Amino acid sequence: MSVLPLVFTSGWASGINAYAVVLLFGLLGATGVTDEVPAALQRPDVLIVAGVLFLCEAVADKVPYVDSVWDAVHTVIRPVAGAVVAALLAGHNGSLPELAAGAVGGSTALLSHVVKAGTRIAVNTSPEPASNIVLSLAEDLGVAGLIAFAVFHPVAAAVIAGLLLAGGIAVVVLLWSRIRRYLRRRRQRREEKRQVAAGGAAAAPR
């Protein structure tokens, strides 16, 4: 069977939480649940690093504004992780060229990352932190559930991932005006702070 559905699902999940994807695949392979996981993802050092970074993301992802900063930092990391995981899966399976798999995994991860980051910006326009926590938990559970499901039912999981990706893009498009207003206010606040700082420096005695 082609590994393409599993590659697509892992790419979508990597755009949401790349560390969780590496950790889950590694644990599923190391515990013998499946033989579809390449040895590189089962190494103890990889599992430890992925586990520590997953815990860091689990905390940062639930704090308003900190989550958006974290997303910005991971704009490159998540697509690269999605491409690497996809290439490893393809190389282990042998039914899809690694370069093609990396392109699919990386581009899918980039799209889902954009959806996640855009959704978080929209959520951060509300003052309460509860929505961030609920959304983060839903994302973590969704990634864990879909990756575990994909190992045994890759085609069905890929269909679900595709629907989630399409739905997420539609939501971000609908919320785009709200996101633009938030970004505009943030730029204005930064400009005001620079002006205040410049005025204070000019007024300081020499």
Domains of the chain: total? 1
Domain assignment present for residue 204? The answer is no
Domain assignment present for residue 198? The answer is no
Of 141, 12, 143, nearest in space to 82 by CA: 12
Percent of the chain with pLDDT over 70: 90
Domain assignment present for residue 157? The answer is yes
CB 140 within 8 A of CB 54: no
Looking at 93-107, 109-123, 170-184, which range is the least confident one? 170-184
Per-residue pLDDT for 205 more than 70?
no
CA distance 159 to 5: 8
Domain assignment present for residue 76? The answer is yes
Of 63, 60, 168, nearest in space to 114 by CA: 168
Domain assignment present for residue 201? The answer is no
Other C-beta atoms closer than 10 Å to the C-beta of 2 total 12
Per-residue pLDDT for 187 more than 90?
no
Per-residue pLDDT for 124 more than 90?
no
Looking at 63-72, 81-90, 106-115, 181-190, which range is the least confident one? 181-190
Distances (CA, A) of 194 to 65, 71, 132: 20, 25, 29
